Amino acid sequence: MGFLRRLVDKAKIKSPWVFHFNSGGCNGCDIEIIAALMPRLDLERFGVKLVGSPRHADIMLCTGPVTEQIKPRLQRIYEQMAEPKYVVAIGSCACSGGVFRGAYNVLGGVDQAIPVTAYVPGCPPKPSAIMHGAYQLLQVLAEIMGVSPKELAPEFEEPPAPTVDTTETGAEVAQT
């Protein structure tokens, strides 16, 4: 049983399946999540797989603020996920309500409705920030489960932090 438990834990770290839920944001964060999954940054190299049902997911990526209207729906979707389950709030809206904070009917961030494991702030956060958040979350999960991510995949290295380059026009360009 101990061996099987450890095998399942290793599998969860090596291939976390994620479900994406927008509770009412502007879609800016959603586009950045897609960019993180695309081949340039390739979040899938960590085994991350986007799935269409919360019943298949280990991690829920949440974007947007939580309103009175969406709260019970978000809670119902969270309840459909199997244990152990984790939630990542992506973007300022999901972290705290962001630009919608204080608006009528807005409760605040995702943690006003369900437990949140990790926060990735920004409006919207860069794909590299989402990568960094995912890496940090996997490290925490590995620590909880007593598994070393590097033991599982030697190429499992922390994504480089984005640098900023000032071009001749003075515009700032993120190098990811």
Q: Residue 27 or 158: which CB sits closer to ligand SF4?
A: 27
Q: What minimum distance in Å lies between the beta carbon of 10 and ligand SF4?
A: 33
Which of 38, 134, 127 lies closest to 86, judged by CA? 134
Position 124 contacts ligand SF4 (CB under 6 A): yes
Q: Which stretch binds ligand SF4 (CB under 6 A): 25-33, 39-47, 71-79, 153-161?
A: 25-33
Q: How many residues bind to ligand SF4 according to rule CB under 6 A?
A: 13
Coil, strand or helix at 170: coil
- Residues 156, 150: contact at Cβ < 8 Å? yes
Q: What minimum distance in Å lies between the beta carbon of 92 and ligand SF4?
A: 4
Judged by CB under 6 A, which of 57, 85, 91, 147 binds ligand SF4? 91
Which of 61, 132, 54, 68 lies closest to 103, judged by CA? 68
Q: Which stretch binds ligand SF4 (CB under 6 A): 23-31, 40-48, 133-141, 162-170?
A: 23-31
Residues 57-76 as x/- pattern, contact with ligand SF4 by CB under 6 A? ------xx------------
Identify the sign of the CA torsion 143, 88, 70, 67: positive
Coil, strand or helix at 28: helix
Position 25 contacts ligand SF4 (CB under 6 A): yes
CA distance 54 to 87: 11
Q: Checking phi first, is residue 91 left (phi over 0); if not, alpha (psi -120 to 50) or beta?
A: left
Position 51 contacts ligand SF4 (CB under 6 A): no
Q: Provide the binding-site residues for ligand SF4, judged by CB under 6 A.
A: 25-26, 28-29, 63-64, 91-93, 98-99, 123-124
